């Protein structure tokens, strides 16, 4: 066996210590591991001969036990190369290469007579490492007080960050120097109602950074299973991040039983921003697929009864009920008290604005069927929405009882006759115990009514109270739902859940997640126009997002006169999102009437694929622009998307050298018109049809908050007549 670890004598913090090092397969990365004079583990990471992570401490502080922080000696050290290529059930690529050099260091702590293993995997795109706790005489059940993993930065980098929070990630990103995080903390949180802030210097992962020398660094975690989610807290003086886990109701950070492991801590690095987007390190650090029969797992393009409620045009609730915060006011005089299971809704007056009514749902099914969508999501179909949020109620929904105007069987049969799949909605309103109680019955109800995908949601404080959306108990809940759903052959799209960490490799029925600021915020006051140039560098590092793009009417007051929100995006930008925001689950989120006004642009949403054989990141800079080309699964058609956040717009320049030289292609380019602007003129777009070949080049202007989308269809030579070359 070839050995990858070399022993060297190095100078750390003035003391001469023995250190060992590991190289990446391509030799660009070098990581060193050492024990300092106190026997405390340290690592550092170099890229192309320069430090990207300075010597940083590793360790775990335990509650009521000797901590795993120092007093270690190296007991054993084992290194091995690894190289495999595997095929995801769905994804950006047909084949994924997983190549790294692994190094497991077994440390012995003589004081407590215990072992701890730190396992490193050095890839060609960065480093992953985790703690492993072998079952042993002196370690079985233990409680984590805090993980003390450090990431020491080499300078005051530019960071693209959202502030630490135990309950939500639905923030706009802030771009600033690391040293400015604290000063910008308040402003950074203003884009969402503050939930559970943790420290003015804490940020969430995945954290994207850029050094003054142009090195891109991304910190995150992979395979977050049975452990609490990690934040990063900055020591501003020394520019050192340290892990900060999410607590349970007692304030503890994790309850573990050996043998067990921590999630992987990941550091993706490159001097080319495109490599960060193309990295598969996070998914590769997860276990292989555990679902044997995957025939039922299918990427989905869908429409739904959704945007109308988000914009306030219609309601989830069937009656006016008792609106949150209005109890005791004149507004609720004479309103009956509504309780799940005790209220006969057939006797109540409907509010006349209930979105999920049978006739309307059938219209959506017709629209889906005419335009070739796979599915229809319907929210607000079940009893409980009158006071679903804000009261910490235990029993909110039972997930099986429809409102009187939602005909489950009639809709099931109608959808079947139109070849459209219904998508179930389970809003838990954070009442997790209630959801787990009903889960089997709810999934059986779904299967009986032909639903094989569910969108879950966790709005509000978690019940039982004291838990947080991102603590270990909740991480285990989300995982429980995924695995239970797999037993029923159900696909899951979880909103407000824990941020993805590549688990979809192991559980590919997890086809969607929100866990970031999605399109809904465009109806709640708007998002920054460059938000979508950051999400792929941050949230999407862990997996796809149900971003719900495709908004064509940016002036929300045209949908609901009482809502003055504006969608900070051009129409062409909305099209590009289907390609730049990779997801096997894509919604066409706007109302059918808005698509009917722009059928020529809508064609792109109809044509675009949701599963891919290949992806080429053509241009990228966090906060400024992303251009990607993707090859549709099992076809020779390509789709290109560009999103731009640069103030005043930018000219994007791309080659088509990803095309085959012996084929003919027709490209339809959907771009911002010269006068387009996300705020003042978002619907100004142009569509042009041209011939393209491997030798073609495109220079295309894109507005701020704008972009372009291209469908490139392979055609017979005969079908190229009359078309101009690009
Ligand atoms: C928040 C989700 O993100 C949104 O998609 C959903 O419609 C509402 N919660 C209601 O469940
Ligand atoms: Ca949400």
Q: Which domains does the chain have, with CATH numbers?
A: 49-284 (2.70.98.10), 300-565+585-594 (3.20.20.70), 566-584+595-726 (2.60.40.1180)
Span from the CA of 424 to the centroid of ligand 1 (angstroms) = 13
How crowded is residue 52: how many other Cβ atoms within 10 Å of its Cβ?
A: 25
- CA dist 529 and 545 (Å) reads 18
How crowded is residue 179: how many other Cβ atoms within 10 Å of its Cβ?
A: 14
* SS3 of residue 475 by DSSP: helix
Is residue 118 predicted with pLDDT exceeding 50?
yes
pLDDT tens digits, residue range 245-285? 999 999 999 999 999 999 999 999 999 999 999 999 999 99
The conformational region for residue 404 under phi > 0 = left, psi -120 to 50 = alpha, else beta, is: alpha
Output the CA–CA distances (angstroms, integers) from residue 628 to 97, 131, 185, 465, 568, in the order listed: 20, 36, 32, 43, 21
Q: Which one of 431, 495, 518, 545 would you pick to mutate in the ligand 1 pocket, going by the greatest count of ligand atoms within 8 A of its CB? A: 495
Averaged pLDDT for residues 19-45: 96
Q: What confidence category does residue 604 fall into, taking pLDDT thresholds of 50, 70 and 90?
A: very high
Span from the CA of 438 to the centroid of ligand 2 (angstroms) = 22
**E-strand spans in 307-386?**
375-378
Nearest CA to ligand 1 atom 6: 457
Percent of the chain with pLDDT over 90: 90
Is 495's C-beta closer than 6 angstroms to any atom of ligand 1? yes
pLDDT confidence of residue 97 = 98
Residues 6+ apart with CB under 8 A from 8: 18, 19, 20, 21, 32
pLDDT confidence of residue 335 = 57
Percent of the chain with pLDDT over 70: 95
Nearest CA to ligand 1 atom 3: 495
pLDDT confidence of residue 197 = 75
Averaged pLDDT for residues 103-109: 97
Is residue 341 predicted with pLDDT exceeding 90?
no
Span from the CA of 183 to the centroid of ligand 1 (angstroms) = 32
Residues 6+ apart with CB under 8 A from 200: 163, 181, 182, 185
Q: Which atom of ligand 1 is nearest to the CA of 427?
A: 11
Is residue 334 predicted with pLDDT exceeding 60?
no
Is 248's C-beta closer than 6 angstroms to any atom of ligand 1? no
pLDDT tens digits, residue range 210-222? 999 999 999 999 9
Averaged pLDDT for residues 654-660: 98
Q: Which atom of ligand 1 is nearest to the CA of 309?
A: 7
Residues 6+ apart with CB under 8 A from 602: 371, 552, 588, 595
Span from the CA of 638 to the centroid of ligand 2 (angstroms) = 31
* SS3 of residue 597 by DSSP: helix
Is 427's C-beta closer than 6 angstroms to any atom of ligand 1? yes
- CA dist 295 and 408 (Å) reads 26
What predicted TM-score, i.e. pTM, was given to this entire model?
A: 0.96
Beta bridge partners of 272: none
pLDDT confidence of residue 14 = 35
Is 165's C-beta closer than 6 angstroms to any atom of ligand 1? no
Q: Which one of 171, 317, 457, 549 would you pick to mutate in the ligand 1 pocket, going by the greatest count of ligand atoms within 8 A of its CB? A: 457
Mean of the per-residue pLDDT values of the chain: 95
Nearest CA to ligand 1 atom 10: 427
Report the candidate in 519, 525, 518 with the shortest Cα–Cα distance to residue 563: 525
Output the CA–CA distances (angstroms, integers) from residue 574 to 235, 571, 671, in the order listed: 39, 5, 11
Averaged pLDDT for residues 93-104: 98
Q: What confidence category does residue 176 fall into, taking pLDDT thresholds of 50, 70 and 90?
A: very high
Is 51's C-beta closer than 6 angstroms to any atom of ligand 1? no
The phi and psi torsions of 63 (rounded to 5 degrees) equal -95, 135
Is residue 328 predicted with pLDDT exceeding 90?
no
Q: Which of these ranges, 12-26, 208-222, 401-415, has the smallest mean pLDDT?
A: 12-26
Judge whether 656 and 639 are in contact, CB under 8 Å.
no
pLDDT confidence of residue 16 = 36
Report the candidate in 110, 103, 128, 126 with the shortest Cα–Cα distance to residue 19: 103
Judge whether 304 and 423 are in contact, CB under 8 Å.
yes
> For the stretch 589-611, what's the b/e string if a residue is b when 16 or more beta carbons lie within 10 angstroms of its beta carbon?
bbbbebbeeeeebbbbbebbbbb
Q: What confidence category does residue 321 fall into, taking pLDDT thresholds of 50, 70 and 90?
A: confident
Is 457's C-beta closer than 6 angstroms to any atom of ligand 1? yes
Which helix or strand (DSSP H or E) is residue 625 part of? strand 625-632
Residues 6+ apart with CB under 8 A from 82: 98, 99, 100, 101, 102, 121
Task: Note the ligand closest to the C-alpha atom of 170.
Answer: 2
Is residue 445 predicted with pLDDT exceeding 70?
yes
Q: How do 300-305 and 375-378 pair as beta strands? A: parallel
pLDDT confidence of residue 348 = 83
Is residue 439 predicted with pLDDT exceeding 60?
yes
pLDDT tens digits, residue range 543-562? 999 999 999 999 999 999 99
Span from the CA of 309 to the centroid of ligand 1 (angstroms) = 9
pLDDT confidence of residue 8 = 47
Averaged pLDDT for residues 226-242: 98
Report the candidate in 160, 148, 154 with the shortest Cα–Cα distance to residue 230: 148
pLDDT confidence of residue 329 = 61
Is 355's C-beta closer than 6 angstroms to any atom of ligand 1? no
- CA dist 642 and 334 (Å) reads 54
pLDDT confidence of residue 198 = 87
Q: How do 141-147 and 254-257 pair as beta strands? A: antiparallel
Is 546's C-beta closer than 6 angstroms to any atom of ligand 1? no
Q: Which pair of structure tokens corresponds to residue 581?
A: 């925001």
Is residue 608 predicted with pLDDT exceeding 50?
yes
Residues 6+ apart with CB under 8 A from 584: 90, 91, 299, 300, 511, 512, 544, 610, 611
pLDDT confidence of residue 151 = 98
Report the candidate in 611, 692, 603, 608 with the shortest Cα–Cα distance to residue 654: 692
Q: Which of these ranges, 108-112, 341-345, 535-539, 625-629, has the smallest mean pLDDT?
A: 341-345
Q: Which one of 306, 381, 459 would you pick to mutate in the ligand 1 pocket, going by the greatest count of ligand atoms within 8 A of its CB? A: 459
Is 308's C-beta closer than 6 angstroms to any atom of ligand 1? no
Is 520's C-beta closer than 6 angstroms to any atom of ligand 1? yes
- CA dist 99 and 49 (Å) reads 21
Is 91's C-beta closer than 6 angstroms to any atom of ligand 1? no
Nearest CA to ligand 1 atom 11: 427
pLDDT tens digits, residue range 494-523? 999 999 999 999 999 999 999 999 999 999
The conformational region for residue 560 under phi > 0 = left, psi -120 to 50 = alpha, else beta, is: beta
Span from the CA of 249 to the centroid of ligand 2 (angstroms) = 23
Catalytic residue among 520, 593, 619, 714: 520
pLDDT confidence of residue 2 = 42
Is 21's C-beta closer than 6 angstroms to any atom of ligand 1? no
Span from the CA of 426 to the centroid of ligand 2 (angstroms) = 13
Averaged pLDDT for residues 409-434: 98
pLDDT confidence of residue 4 = 53
Q: Which pair of structure tokens corresponds to residue 522?
A: 């465009």
pLDDT confidence of residue 64 = 87
Is residue 391 predicted with pLDDT exceeding 80?
yes
Report the candidate in 517, 495, 492 with the shortest Cα–Cα distance to residue 503: 492
- CA dist 639 and 128 (Å) reads 32
> For the stretch 640-679, what's the b/e string if a residue is b when 16 or more beta carbons lie within 10 angstroms of its beta carbon?
bbbbbbbeebbebebebebbeeeebbbbbbbbbbeebbbe
Span from the CA of 457 to the centroid of ligand 1 (angstroms) = 6
Report the candidate in 242, 237, 232, 180 with the shortest Cα–Cα distance to residue 208: 232
Q: Which atom of ligand 1 is nearest to the CA of 425?
A: 11
Is 379's C-beta closer than 6 angstroms to any atom of ligand 1? yes
Task: Give the distance, in angstroms, between the CA of residue 621 and the centroid of all CA atoms in the same chain.
Answer: 19
The DSSP string of 156-175 is --EEEE-B-BSS------EE
Judge whether 534 and 644 are in contact, CB under 8 Å.
no
Judge whether 57 and 40 are in contact, CB under 8 Å.
yes
Active site residue 619: no
Span from the CA of 516 to the centroid of ligand 1 (angstroms) = 12
């Amino acid at each position: 066996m070839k050995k990858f670890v070399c022993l060297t004598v190095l100078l750390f913090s003035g003391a001469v210590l023995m250190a060992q090092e590991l190289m990446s397969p391509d030799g660009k990365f070098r990581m060193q591991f050492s024990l300092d004079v106190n026997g405390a583990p340290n690592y550092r990471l170099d890229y192309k001969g320069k430090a990207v992570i300075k010597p940083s401490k590793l360790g775990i502080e335990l509650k009521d036990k000797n901590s795993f922080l120092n007093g270690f000696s190296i007991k054993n050290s084992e290194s091995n190369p690894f190289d495999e290529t595997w095929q995801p059930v769905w994804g950006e690529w047909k084949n994924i290469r997983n190549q790294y050099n692994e190094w497991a260091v077994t440390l012995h702590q003589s004081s407590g007579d215990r072992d701890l293993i730190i396992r490193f995997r050095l890839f060609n795109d960065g480093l992953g490492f985790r703690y492993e706790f072998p079952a042993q005489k002196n370690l079985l059940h233990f409680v984590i007080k805090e993980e003390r993993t450090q990431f020491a930065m080499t300078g005051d980098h530019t960071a693209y960050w959202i502030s630490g929070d135990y309950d939500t990630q639905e923030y706009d990103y802030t771009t600033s120097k690391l040293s400015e995080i604290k000063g910008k903390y308040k402003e950074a949180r203003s884009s969402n109602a503050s939930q559970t802030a943790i420290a003015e210097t804490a940020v969430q992962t995945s954290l994207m950074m850029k050094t003054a020398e142009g090195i891109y660094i991304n910190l995150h975690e992979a395979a977050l299973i049975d452990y609490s989610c990690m934040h990063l807290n900055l020591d501003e003086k020394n520019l050192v991040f340290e892990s900060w886990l999410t607590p349970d109701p007692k304030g503890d950070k994790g309850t573990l039983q050996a043998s067990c492991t921590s999630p992987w801590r990941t550091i993706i690095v490159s001097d080319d921003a495109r490599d960060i987007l193309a990295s598969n390190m996070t998914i590769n650090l997860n276990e292989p697929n555990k679902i044997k029969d995957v025939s039922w797992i299918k990427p989905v393009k869908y429409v739904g009864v959704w945007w109308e409620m988000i914009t306030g045009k219609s309601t989830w609730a069937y009656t006016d009920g008792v609106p949150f915060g209005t109890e005791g006011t004149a507004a609720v005089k004479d309103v009956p008290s509504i309780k799940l299971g005790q209220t006969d809704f057939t006797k109540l007056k409907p509010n006349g604005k209930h979105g999920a009514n049978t006739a309307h749902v059938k219209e959506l099914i017709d629209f889906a069927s005419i335009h070739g969508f796979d599915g229809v999501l319907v929210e607000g179909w079940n009893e409980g929405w009158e006071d679903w949020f804000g009261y910490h109620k235990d029993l909110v929904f039972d997930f099986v009882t429809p409102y009187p105007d939602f005909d489950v069987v009639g809709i099931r049969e109608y959808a079947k006759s139109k070849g459209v799949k219904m998508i179930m909605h389970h809003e838990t309103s954070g009442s997790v115990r209630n959801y787990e109680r009903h889960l089997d019955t709810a999934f059986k109800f779904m299967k009986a009514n032909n639903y094989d995908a569910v969108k879950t949601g966790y709005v509000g404080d978690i019940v039982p109270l004291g838990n947080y959306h991102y603590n270990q108990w909740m991480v285990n809940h989300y995982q429980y739902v995924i695995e239970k759903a797999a037993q029923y052959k159900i696909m899951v799209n979880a909103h407000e859940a824990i941020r993805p960490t590549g688990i979809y490799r192991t559980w590919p029925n997890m086809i969607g997640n929100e866990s970031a600021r999605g399109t809904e915020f465009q109806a709640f006051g708007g998002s920054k126009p460059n938000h979508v140039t950051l999400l792929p560098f941050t949230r999407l590092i862990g997996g796809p997002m149900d971003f719900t793009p495709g908004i064509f009417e940016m002036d929300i007051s045209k949908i609901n006169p009482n809502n003055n929100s504006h969608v900070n995006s051009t129409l062409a930008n909305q099209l590009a999102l289907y390609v730049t925001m990779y997801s096997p689950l894509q919604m066409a989120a706007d109302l059918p009437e808005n698509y009917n006004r722009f059928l020529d642009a809508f064609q792109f949403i109809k044509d675009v694929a949701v599963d891919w054989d290949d992806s080429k990141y053509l241009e990228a800079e966090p906060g400024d622009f992303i251009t990607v080309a993707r090859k549709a699964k099992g076809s020779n058609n390509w789709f290109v998307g560009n999103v731009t956040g640069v103030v005043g717009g930018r000219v994007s320049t791309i080659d088509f050298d990803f095309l085959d030289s012996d084929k003919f292609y027709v490209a339809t380019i959907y771009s911002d018109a010269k006068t387009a602007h996300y705020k003042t003129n978002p619907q100004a777009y142009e569509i042009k049809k041209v011939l393209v070949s491997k030798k073609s080049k495109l220079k295309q202007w894109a507005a701020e908050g704008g972009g372009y989308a291209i469908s490139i269809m392979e055609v017979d030579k005969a079908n190229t007549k009359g078309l101009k070359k690009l």
